[in-house]
Amino acid sequence: MASAFRIPMTGRSLDERHRVSSPLELLFDLTFVVAIAQVAGQLAHAEEQGHVIDRLPLYLMVFFAIWWAWMNFTWFASAYDTDDVPYRLMTLIQMGGVLVLTAGVPAAFEHESFTAIIVGYLIMRLALIGQWIRAAVEHPEGRKTALRYAVGIAAVQVLWVAWGFLPPQLAVATFVLGAALELAVPLWAERPGMTSWHPHHIAERYGLFTIIVLGESVSASAIGVQSALAQSGFSAALVWIAVAGLVLLFALWWLYFLEPAAEGLRTRRQLSFYWGYGHYFVFASLAALGAGLEVAVQAGAAHTEASNTAVEYAIAVPLAVFLLMLYVLHAPLVEEVVVRPLKTGAALLLVLLLPLASPAIGLVGVTIGIALVAAALVAFTLLDQSIAGRKAAAVTGDAAS
């Protein structure tokens, strides 16, 4: 596909028809496939050794870095994607930064060394600051907002560089401060006027990232199966856990795309920060679920130090977080959520209680039970939609007659 050498960077139309993800955005997302695989793999390793509580803060911190890097690019691109040569080259630099960040994930988990992650972030943020400065120069209507973004991002990046030199005992507290400032920059920058992000484009981008995280869960399960087969060979438990994991992931994909977020974002743009920021928990829980499924396969073949109950909760807790956030994020955004609160609450309760039945039904039974709960939630939701559709058709027919 040909690209003009330079196109003036102006805000794209809020109502642009057929606004979809560009090939460059899809290529950019591929770098995050690797990053998520790394962080999920490290969490799975901690779960196998029974150290998940110790490593969970590191997981949440590193995943925040990955998610926020994707967020920065995605929302900027929705408003200012010109797809000319300078824009593509700046995106290439950001992709390079993501890969440097990814290379530093093992060191962050094993030695709590964040040097490579900080360097990767610095590379990405310099390119992003350049993009915002270009937007400020070439788009006068959005200049104040763009300059606020450039200044805010640069200021917080200085903190991240300094964070790398702080003593370990201050690492978590300083990270929380830095993360809070990162989240505050867009709130402050958009006060003079919101950027022209496209609601349907943003909803599609988030959906694609959801698929990426779910894909990592499929990959993690496959890795677990491969490792278990290599060490113990074929077993019925291995098959049942793998099948249950696939059913579970398919059900979660179905549930996520049942909610019509795009139209809600169009009519209630003021909720974009709430919806967009809240997805951190959606994405982090799905990646953690992939790690849990990988460990469950290993545990089914008796190749993990963690107890069955711990492994089962490594699946149940991320799933509960996903189901809860799916409702919490969409309830204010749409007139009526598709996945109803009563059914969501019942599913949450069952998912969190099932591991307590492990002494009676075992790891395989609990994993199958959790998958069946998710599948039942899909089935009952589709039934609700079918009943609502029939009622609407009946009302329309009565009005016409």
Check whether residue 174 and residue 207 sit in a common domain: no
Whether residue 174 sits in one domain with residue 267: no
With respect to residue 52, please indicate whether it lies within any of the assigned structural domains.
yes
Here the tokens at position 216 are 């990592």
For residues 100 and 229, state if they share a domain: no
Taking all residues of the chain, what is their mean pLDDT, rounded to a whole number? 90
Task: Specify the amino acid at residue 337.
Answer: V
When pLDDT is cut at 50, 70 and 90, the band that residue 287 belongs to is: very high
Q: Are residues 385 and 243 in the same domain?
A: yes
Residue 203 within any structural domain of the chain: yes
Confidence tier at 1 by pLDDT (50, 70, 90): very low
The answer to whether 157 and 122 have CB atoms below 8 angstroms apart is yes
Question: Which of the listed residues 135, 164, 189 is the one where a domain comes to its end?
Answer: 189
Share of the chain above pLDDT 70, in %: 93
Interatomic CA distance for residues 140 and 11, integer angstroms: 10
The answer to whether residue 335 scores a pLDDT higher than 90 is no
> Are 147 and 293 part of one and the same domain?
no
In a domain, 148, yes or no: yes
Which pLDDT score is estimated for 397? Answer: 66
Question: Residue 257 sits in which domain range?
Answer: 199-393
The whole-number pLDDT of residue 112 equals: 85
Higher pLDDT pick, 240 / 317 = 317
Residue that has been written with the tokens 């019942």 in this structure: 346
- CB 112, CB 58: distance < 8 Å: yes
Q: Are 24 and 83 in contact (CB under 8 A)?
A: yes
Residue 29 has pLDDT above 90, yes or no: yes
Chain Cα centroid distance, residue 327: 16
Give pLDDT tens digits for 57-68.
999 999 999 999
pLDDT of residue 361: 93
Asked if 169 and 224 sit in the same domain, the reply is no
Task: Tell me the C-alpha to C-alpha distance, in Å, between residue 156 and each of 76, 130, 332.
Answer: 17, 15, 31
Tens of pLDDT, residue by residue over 201-256, are 999 999 999 999 998 888 877 776 777 666 666 677 788 888 899 999 999 999 99
- 354 and 274 within one domain: yes
Count Cβ atoms below 10 Å from residue 179 Cβ, excluding itself. Answer: 17
pLDDT in tens, 81-135: 898 999 999 999 999 999 999 999 999 998 888 999 999 999 999 999 999 999 9
Residues 375 and 232 occupy one common structural domain = yes
Q: Number of folded domains in the chain? A: 2
Q: Given this model, what pLDDT does residue 228 score?
A: 66
Domain end residue (candidates: 189, 217, 240):
189
* 3: DSSP letter: -
Distance CA 105, CA 41 (A): 10
Mean pLDDT across the stretch 335-357?
93
> Would the pLDDT of 167 be above 90?
no
Instruction: Return the pLDDT at 343.
Output: 94
Query: Are 255 and 268 spatial neighbours (Cβ–Cβ below 8 Å)?
Result: no
What is the mean pLDDT of the segment spanning 155-163?
Answer: 94
**Is residue 353 assigned to a domain?**
yes
At residue 200, what is the residue type? H
353 and 228 together in one domain: yes
The pLDDT score that the predictor gives to residue 96 is: 96
Give CA–CA dist 151/24, Å, rounded: 26
- Average of pLDDT values for 143-161? 96
Q: Which residues neighbour 201 within 8 Å (Cβ) at sequence distance 6 or greater?
A: 19, 20, 21, 78
Model pLDDT, residue 237: 79
How does residue 172 score in pLDDT terms, banded at 50, 70 and 90? confident
How far is C-alpha 170 from the geometric centre of its chain's CA atoms? Answer: 27
Q: Structure pTM?
A: 0.92
Alpha helices in 12-84 (DSSP H): 23-48, 52-80
Instruction: Provide the token pair at 76.
Output: 């900027």
C-alpha span between 91 and 203 (Å, rounded) = 21
Q: What crossing angle do the helices spanning 272-300 and 171-189 adopt, rounded to 10°? A: 140
Helix/strand/coil percentages in the chain, nearest 5? 80, 0, 20
